[in-house]
Amino acid sequence: MSDAFQPSLDFEAVGDAVADGEALVVDIDGYEGPLHVLLALARTQKVDLLKLSITKLAEQYLAFVQEARRRRFSLAADYLVMASWLAYLKSRLLLPRPERKTGDEPPAEEMAAALAFRLAKLEAMRRAVEGLTSRPRLKRDVFTRGDPEALVVIPSTRIEASLYELMQAYVTQRKKEGERRYKPTVPVVYPLDDARERLRGMAPRLTGWTTLDSIAPPVRGEQGPTRASYLASTLSAGLELVKEGALEARQLEHFHDLFLRSRRGFELEAEAEGA
């Protein structure tokens, strides 16, 4: 650390200020510290910071401090330290070149260059801040997926059930329901009484073996009894008449046609034979 520039002096001064309980952050009209003030002043020279006229800068700074003191009661110590150091540097810069060596002190030009470099560094960081803050920032300018799935791809509340399973569940039940509730429309039957009546009337005419199919009445229209019903009732009535002795029935083989004929016919036949 350069004895001449002694930047640590600033910090010691600040440290003293803290110890004395004085305001820590010196923020005069928006400046955070003497270096920031110097940077702002240097910019007014509108040259590369490394080609800065430190003499001019020193004058600008001293004027600034004077103005600040005029308007305020006090300036933080480091502003004043900087002011005195700049006054000293300026005087050295203005002295004729072959100056006497003062201990380890570097030449004034070197000290000036060091200051310019410090300002350039701070300026670089200010540009860095601008560079960073002008970038699109997360959750302000750019946004990541609002509803990421990775950790919630399938949360524990997730139910495994597919639409197919749902359809299946529905159909199974509806089928069951259909079976359960199936009420066949009561078929219109050929009443047994009607069959008996009809057969009794027909019996005398059944002189030869006649098939049940041809005896049963034919199906009439959709609404009436089914063929099966006609057959069943006619058979049933026929069997009754057989029991009464009015008809006789025969079937040559299982599942073959059933034949009926009038018993009277047989009797008549027999009588005729006997006569």
Cα separation, 133 vs 7, in Å, equals 29
The residue among 80 and 122 lying less far from another protein, judged by its C-beta, is: 122
Token pair in block for residue 272: 């005729």
Could you tell me which residues come within 8 angstroms of residue 242 by beta carbon, excluding any fewer than 6 positions away? 248, 249, 260, 263
Q: CB of residue 46 vs another protein: minimum separation in angstroms?
A: 18
What are the phi and psi torsion angles at 48 (to 5°)?
Answer: -55, 130
Q: CB of residue 93 vs another protein: minimum separation in angstroms?
A: 17
Q: CB of residue 11 vs another protein: minimum separation in angstroms?
A: 6
The residue among 179 and 253 lying less far from another protein, judged by its C-beta, is: 179
Q: Are 81 and 12 in contact (CB under 8 A)?
A: no
Q: CB of residue 143 vs another protein: minimum separation in angstroms?
A: 4
Q: CB of residue 55 vs another protein: minimum separation in angstroms?
A: 19
Of 213, 220, 199, 175, nearest to 262 (Cα)?
199
Q: CB of residue 43 vs another protein: minimum separation in angstroms?
A: 16
The residue among 25 and 275 lying less far from another protein, judged by its C-beta, is: 25
The residue among 63 and 128 lying less far from another protein, judged by its C-beta, is: 128
Cα separation, 238 vs 256, in Å, equals 17
Measured CA distances, 124 to 34, 120, 130, 136 (Å): 17, 6, 10, 20
Cα separation, 263 vs 95, in Å, equals 165
Q: How many CA atoms lie within 13 A of 242 on its CB side?
A: 13
The residue among 49 and 241 lying less far from another protein, judged by its C-beta, is: 49
Of 94, 42, 34, nearest to 65 (Cα)?
34
The residue among 141 and 253 lying less far from another protein, judged by its C-beta, is: 141
